[in-house]
Amino acid sequence: MVYQPDIAAPGIDILAAYSKQTTITGYPMDKRRAVFNIISGTSMACPHVAAAAAYVKSFHPDWSPAAIKSALMTTAIPMKIKDETAELGSGAGQIDPTKALNPGLVYDLSLSSYIRFLCKEGYNSTNISLLVGGKKRYRCSDFKPAQGADGLNYPTMHLQLKNPNSTISAVFHRTVTHVGYQSSVYKANVVSPEGLSVKVYPSSLQFSHQQQKHSFKVTVKGGSMANETSILSALLKWKDSHDHSVKSYILVYKGGLMF
């Protein structure tokens, strides 16, 4: 399972590093060698995102994979062109590795967080042990129940309406970790479409030192979505006085959508 919106990365006309051990085309008759080459294809996004994650990790070796992913997602540049799939198609944005080095806040996750999420999704001890690996058995009764509509401390929030005619009502619980170098006060700013009410409690978070954590909740409410509307997209930004802008998309969409 991959929660959306995730990361969108360019896959066309990528300037890729090349080994001189092989030719430009890979054919034995080709004698050309190049240090760099232009390569197209959406699969090219994968190594570039991996390299961006490695770049962030080199500056923050103590950050978890979840924290690095959060930094890449919340500092990504919003896509200017979007179709009817909204952020389900464009993702959290186009990554900016330099901005990800100083995201201000990150949404971190531990192993227990993932297990609580899997328990919420209906996985049993056998399924979870197969996913986690090792000989240890994990029982859902040993963990506190995951909170909120999704039960995961993810940088984005989404709600899938199983009944397209049902009203919108969801609560998301999130915890952010301060990774900035200065004490900061972050204030919530929400941009939401007509027909969707998004409230953040508390609307202000004050941090005095690194690694300090604060929790908040987001309530999303609205009437039933019009027949011609498939997705409603809102954006939460936590902003401070040090030019940090921690972006999280909030999506509500009808069940049965296939992308």
Of these ranges, 140-144, 178-182, 215-219, the one predicted with the greatest mean pLDDT is: 215-219
3-state secondary structure 115-152: HHHHHHCCCCHHHHHHHHCCCCCCCHHHCCCCCCCCCC
Establish if 2 belongs to a structural domain.
no
Does residue 133 form part of some domain?
no
- Residue 127 lies inside a defined structural domain of this protein: no
In a domain, 236, yes or no: yes
Summarised one tens digit per residue, pLDDT across range 16-26 is 777 778 888 87
* 140 within some domain: no
Query: Considering the domain boundaries, does residue 7 fall inside one?
Result: no
Q: What is the pTM of this model?
A: 0.84
Beta strands in the chain (DSSP E): 14-17, 36-39, 105-106, 157-161, 168-178, 184-191, 197-201, 204-207, 213-222, 231-239, 245-254
Provide the number of structural domains found in the chain: 1
- Give the pLDDT score at 37: 75
Residue 119 domain-assigned (yes or no): no
Q: Give the pLDDT band of residue 109 (cuts 50, 70, 90).
A: very high
Q: Say if residue 38's pLDDT is above 70.
A: yes
| Percent of all residues in the chain with a pLDDT value above 90, rounded to a whole number | 52
**Residue 211 confidence (pLDDT):** 95
User: Which one-letter amino acid corresponds to residue 46?
Assistant: C
How far is 130 from 113, CA to CA, in rounded Å? 17
| Ranges 48-52, 80-84, 188-192, 255-259: which has the least confidence | 255-259
Q: 226 lies in a domain? A: yes
pLDDT at 253: 87
pLDDT in tens, 208-257: 999 999 999 999 999 988 887 788 889 999 999 889 999 999 999 887 65
pLDDT at 1 over 50: no
Residue pLDDT, tens place only, 52-67:
999 999 999 999 999 9
- The two tokens of residue 259 are 């992308």
Mean pLDDT computed over 19-40 = 81
Q: What is the CATH number of the domain that holds 89?
A: 2.60.40.2310
pLDDT for res 259: 47
Share of the chain above pLDDT 70, in %: 92
Which domain does 227 fall in, by range? 14-109+153-254
